[in-house]
């Protein structure tokens, strides 16, 4: 499968290839199905992809969803399968709000250090948990720690997954302070950036405090928000 970036425009989801050589971003969006609402806004050509990893988390994910809703921003959540089974209702809420739910392994395992069987279990168990929660199976796989090697790539491909990492690391997980998180994102962002943040895996108070300023600034600079599907 090929990774695509989608923009949610009203109820219409328009998908375009990230690789301009495969499908130029200047190409017109595909026609909307007859039952869909009319497209009201232009497909954003200046955009970022917001990604949140390691959830869902009962304390932090709802707060992040509320902030995203306030700023009308869509994001992609790379979820840990064992967390999905604890809070399938949160995965459902994320999906129903128009965000993308994708695979981040079952236990946040480093995929470079697994047997073929363990690799498959990490990925397919998470697929099944997400499928049970939202009714569709993720095509994107984000390897924990960004850990990739030729074996990881080959095994992911064999399972039909596209590996997706990031281009801007907020390093929010190091808890450097709200200002540092905001500045790290805003200094490094450009159109097409895939921004890494976290809604689970630890105390995300600083991420939540930083997010409104990040979203406000990105919108003021003219960025739209696209989500990932694969
Ligand atoms: Zn992670």
Report yes or no on 39 lying in a domain.
no
Catalytic residue among 53, 57, 127, 199: 53
Report yes or no on 14 lying in a domain.
no
Give the position of tokens 């595909």.
30
Ligand 1 mean position to 184 CA, how many Å? 18
Ligand 1 mean position to 54 CA, how many Å? 5
- E strand segments, the chain: 4-9, 12-17, 47-53, 75-79, 100-103, 140-141, 162-163, 168-169, 194-198, 224-225, 227-229
Q: Could you report the per-residue pLDDT of 24-71, keeping only the tens digit for each? A: 344 455 554 444 444 444 467 999 999 999 999 999 999 999 999 999
Ligand 1 mean position to 186 CA, how many Å? 21
Q: Would the pLDDT of 14 be above 90?
A: no
Report yes or no on 80 lying in a domain.
yes
Residue 26: predicted pLDDT: 45
CA distances from 176 to 59, 167, 205 (A): 20, 19, 11
Residue 46: predicted pLDDT: 96
- Is 162 an annotated catalytic residue? no
Report yes or no on 1 lying in a domain.
no
Segment 72-95 mean pLDDT: 98
Q: Could you report the per-residue pLDDT of 186-201, keeping only the tens digit for each? A: 999 999 999 999 999 9
CATH of the domain at 93: 3.20.20.370
Is residue 142 within 8 A of residue 53, CB to CB? The reply is: yes
Cα–Cα dist 125/48, whole Å:
30
Residue 9: predicted pLDDT: 37
Is residue 134 within 8 A of residue 92, CB to CB? The reply is: yes
Residue 172: predicted pLDDT: 98
5: tokens are 């970036």
- Is 53 an annotated catalytic residue? yes
Among 62, 57, 106, which Cα is nearest to 80's? 106
Report yes or no on 190 lying in a domain.
yes
Report yes or no on 58 lying in a domain.
yes
Domain range for 166 is 45-229
Computed over every residue of the chain, the mean pLDDT equals 88
Cα–Cα dist 212/214, whole Å:
5
DSSP of 27-67? SPPPPPPTTSPPP-SPPPSSEEEEEEES---TTTHHHHHHH
Residue 176: predicted pLDDT: 98
pLDDT band at residue 225 under the 50/70/90 scheme? very high
Among 175, 230, 221, which Cα is nearest to 48's? 221
pLDDT band at residue 135 under the 50/70/90 scheme? very high
Report yes or no on 138 lying in a domain.
yes
Residue 44: predicted pLDDT: 77
| Tally of structural domains, the chain | 1
What percent of the chain is predicted at pLDDT more than 70?
Answer: 81
Q: Would the pLDDT of 12 be above 50?
A: no
Ligand 1 mean position to 40 CA, how many Å? 35
**Phi, psi torsion values for 132, nearest 5 degrees:** -65, -35
Residue 212: predicted pLDDT: 98
Residue 22: predicted pLDDT: 40
Residue 17: predicted pLDDT: 36
Catalytic residue among 127, 172, 198, 199: 198
Report yes or no on 93 lying in a domain.
yes
Give bridge partners of residue 163 from the DSSP assignment: 141
Q: Could you report the per-residue pLDDT of 119-131, keeping only the tens digit for each? A: 999 999 999 999 9
């Amino acid at each position: 499968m090929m990774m695509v970036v989608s923009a949610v425009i009203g109820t219409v989801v328009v998908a375009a290839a990230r690789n301009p050589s495969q499908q130029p971003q200047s190409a017109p969006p595909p026609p909307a199905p007859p039952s869909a609402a009319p497209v009201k806004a232009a497909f954003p050509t200046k955009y970022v992809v917001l990604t949140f990893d390691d959830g869902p988390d009962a304390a932090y994910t709802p707060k992040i969803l509320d902030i995203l809703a306030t700023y009308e921003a869509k994001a992609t959540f790379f979820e840990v399968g064992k967390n999905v089974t604890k809070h399938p209702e949160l995965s459902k809420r994320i999906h129903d709000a128009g965000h993308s739910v994708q695979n981040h392994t079952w236990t946040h395992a480093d995929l470079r250090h697994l047997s073929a069987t363990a690799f498959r279990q990490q990925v397919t168990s998470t697929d099944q948990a997400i499928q049970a929660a939202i009714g569709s199976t993720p095509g994107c796989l984000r390897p924990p720690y960004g850990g990739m090697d030729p074996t990881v790539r080959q095994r992911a491909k064999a399972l039909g997954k596209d590996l997706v990492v990031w281009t801007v690391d907020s390093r929010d997980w190091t808890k450097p302070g709200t200002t540092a998180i905001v500045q790290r994102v805003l200094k490094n962002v450009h159109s097409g950036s895939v921004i890494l943040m976290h809604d689970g895996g630890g105390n995300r108070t600083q991420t939540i405090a930083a997010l409104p300023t990040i979203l406000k600034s990105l919108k003021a600079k003219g960025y739209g928000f696209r989500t990932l599907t694969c």
